[in-house]
Structure 1
């Protein structure tokens, strides 16, 4: 039974998205300075998932801000995990319920890699890579340029949508506009840590989510062409670590080189056997389970502007993997070497044959791929290369039995998800979003990154799409993460339009 019963009836005017755009522009002009200050306040709170005291400060702040806007809230808690901030905004006569998902946690930071303190937001005249300079935060709207940027952890991933949602509610309420859907706000605090408890949170609170008709995931960047996009799927994710073994202790390379097996060479040969010269995965069966696109998805893919040449210049890449376009490559599962270690390099290099070598492997999955099955395929390939697989470091007996040993440590993961573009409620969102973004709006079948979207599409059996607003060059997950101010303004308009769509 729904825990909230209050119905808000003071919002009475229904407007087109074009009118919403105008009102949003006016609201931004009148309140832009305060919006940026509020964003700065939120970004100043450290938000790494395992830092529970600070995570709870973030949750308390968001609860307070939602309550100011007549949203009834509830903090969903499990012992030892970041809470879910849940909000409900019921509307009399609403024909649907929309849920806005945002995660308020961020990636851990290595402060030594940042230009500024990641928890002390800094305002820049432009992107750093365009020679942007630090400035004071604006004191009047005339000082705000859409190309200005805010640098801080979670500026682009994923606190910006929280500010756009709060601001859209302010604009709607101050102009007495009609909200046309019941609104649910579901803000998670451990997405960057893997969302390990999200499934349990959803199961334990089914009465709060069962009536939701559509989940709107507010995460990710706009397209690399800098055009806005709606995304209808995400890749799944899994991975593993592989360790190969040489001698049971490091050996002097002069005395034992050319005789003792070198684990780094064993590992590099193994990894090289997993891909061909074009970067395609040649592990048997790796691409077999890909679910094909529908006709409407194929049409959407064909209409996405090509960006390969621009990306090559931007990223300094001469020869990308594969022969397909960037957008097409997102529709195939990937296998990436995320990290390698064996011995030392540079000034710390020593004349030794190291005892071990380790590689961290990441796999991004597309619709149809099962995480465990993909891991099974990789392990089968490792065995075909002559390796004996173990789960723990091998003992002396195991070492003497096998010439090549690989310890495989599997990572957890989850499958990909994709929502059909031709559902009536999805078509309504597309139409409304185009009224805000114009004909430049890109309909992207699948985003390159991963989110636990399958919990909503495959477990709750509800459609879910992604509303990205961050600039594509926001340094997501990296040092000097940032948000372009124009993208923040776009997000406010989009949230306001969707909250008021007929």
Structure 2
């Protein structure tokens, strides 16, 4: 009880002390305003470099570009950290050690991006050519030229792959350091910079890099710059991330496609079978019905529950924005929903639709399940819970194409391929002294409430930093919430990019 009281008292005192923006924040803002043209020009060049996993040469060009950015800013020991496995995109690393500093902050972002299908982007857009718009395209924004005088409106948007996820993070971190040094400011912590190139591919080899370079990567806190600000537009600090795991499901029926008139009502339809199986995994209120799905969840602490209660409600805003009138879990807010484990259908396929549709009974139906995890869940254990449920529904589970003998023996056959790239959830205690310094620093950059989220809905490889480095992490995102990350027409709002520079700079100046 005394500990809880102390936390709330400390939070109150921070609010009182941080009532105005500091001279350091004002100096960083002034630098950003004066150098906006150069910052955007460099960012646009960065965005022109393809950065998808299928293009290793492109990823290497991105790494080389970042090294040049770091060297230009006087960052020391700039180098590539390579995994033990060959062919893995490298981490770009650098550091600055300040006289008298006894503690160290590591700033993390990633430079790889999601795959692109140019045909799905708006007709005036090229995923790897930065375009400036007067507003979001869906809000009537039009393509405008980049200003020659460096004067940018905060509501303008830059469109290109990775504008928000996560080249904006790289850009904000390095320009924050530039603003600090060129404004004559001296951080009280040593600073390290760690830019990953495999995050969108699941950070499969990140553990190798962390283990290999453990002495180099020791620190007091990792600050993760990835993801969007709160949907209300307010800045937020996120103290954890959900884990993630996948399952590929394939239900089998007849060995060849069948005429639906000749065999309908007689031959099993794999699409219908899969639909019924998936429907058995959730009830009408959105709760997962799989046995034990919620059993091992670690409850929120009193601090975290209090923070969750203070998160602004955006449910009505998001329903209107997304064009939906109901939510999956009735009576549960968005903030409450993302602190629970979830089961999502990423996609389903069986036969053809649209102009390619035909009157047939397909031979198979397939789906991919996405399991989001919270603290306490283990990704392999969560996958097994789903497999056990499938068995209770009467299915014979295999990991190969069914043989003739299996087809004769079992009426319901499913191939299940558990993804091997699962990642567990992580959460950092909100009452640590260094975390309180982070909260105080971010509050100096805004007069609005800073949203404190116990965990994010998305997934980051945070538990790996904890496992291999015994490190603490905190996520401070900067992108606008409607940035279309992972999809077509990805964008960054100009105001968010420059606010991000201020935020990262304020964190570099914590004492």
TM-score (norm 1): 0.95
Q: Does the 8 Å contact 1:17/1:501 carry over to 2?
A: no
Q: Does the 8 Å contact 2:379/2:424 carry over to 1?
A: yes
Question: What's 1:76 paired with?
Answer: 81
Question: What's 1:287 paired with?
Answer: 294
Q: How far apart are the structure 1 equivalents of 2:38 and 2:229?
A: 25
Q: How far apart are the structure 2 equivalents of 1:295 and 1:458?
A: 25
Structure 1 SS opposite 2:181: helix
The CA deviation at 1:29 is 2.0
Q: How far apart are the structure 2 equivalents of 1:376 and 1:305?
A: 36
Q: Does the 8 Å contact 2:426/2:462 carry over to 1?
A: yes
Question: What's 1:41 paired with?
Answer: 45
Structure 2 SS opposite 1:54: helix
Q: Does the 8 Å contact 2:110/2:169 carry over to 1?
A: no
Corresponding residue to 1:128 among 110, 121, 137: 137
Corresponding residue to 2:66 among 62, 81, 84: 62
Q: How far apart are the structure 1 equivalents of 2:215 and 2:339?
A: 35
The CA deviation at 1:329 is 0.5
CA RMSD of aligned residues (A): 1.0
Q: How far apart are the structure 2 equivalents of 1:319 and 1:469?
A: 29
The CA deviation at 1:76 is 1.3
User: Which ranges of structure 1 fall in alignment gaps of 5 or more residues?
Assistant: 1-15
After superposing the two structures, state which structure 1 stretch, 33-42 or 71-80, moved more: 71-80
Q: Does the 8 Å contact 2:210/2:468 carry over to 1?
A: no
Corresponding residue to 2:107 among 92, 100, 109: 100
For the pair 1:193 / 2:189, whether they are aligned, the reply is: no
The CA deviation at 1:61 is 0.8
Q: Please show how residues 332-411 of structure 1 align to structure 2 within 5 Å.
A: 332-411=340-419
The CA deviation at 1:252 is 1.0
The CA deviation at 1:310 is 0.7
Q: How far apart are the structure 1 equivalents of 2:449 and 2:162?
A: 27
For the pair 1:469 / 2:473, whether they are aligned, the reply is: no
The CA deviation at 1:321 is 0.9
Q: Please show how residues 166-185 of structure 1 align to structure 2 within 5 Å.
A: 166-185=174-193
For the pair 1:494 / 2:489, whether they are aligned, the reply is: no
User: Which ranges of structure 2 fall in alignment gaps of 5 or more residues?
Assistant: 1-19
* Aligned length, in residue pairs: 485
The CA deviation at 1:418 is 0.2
Structure 2 SS opposite 1:208: coil
Structure 2 SS opposite 1:490: helix
Q: Please show how residues 138-287 of structure 1 align to structure 2 within 5 Å.
A: 138-142=147-151, 144-210=152-218, 212-287=219-294
Q: How far apart are the structure 2 equivalents of 1:358 and 1:163?
A: 40
Structure 2 SS opposite 1:209: coil
The CA deviation at 1:439 is 4.3
Q: Does the 8 Å contact 1:20/1:493 carry over to 2?
A: no
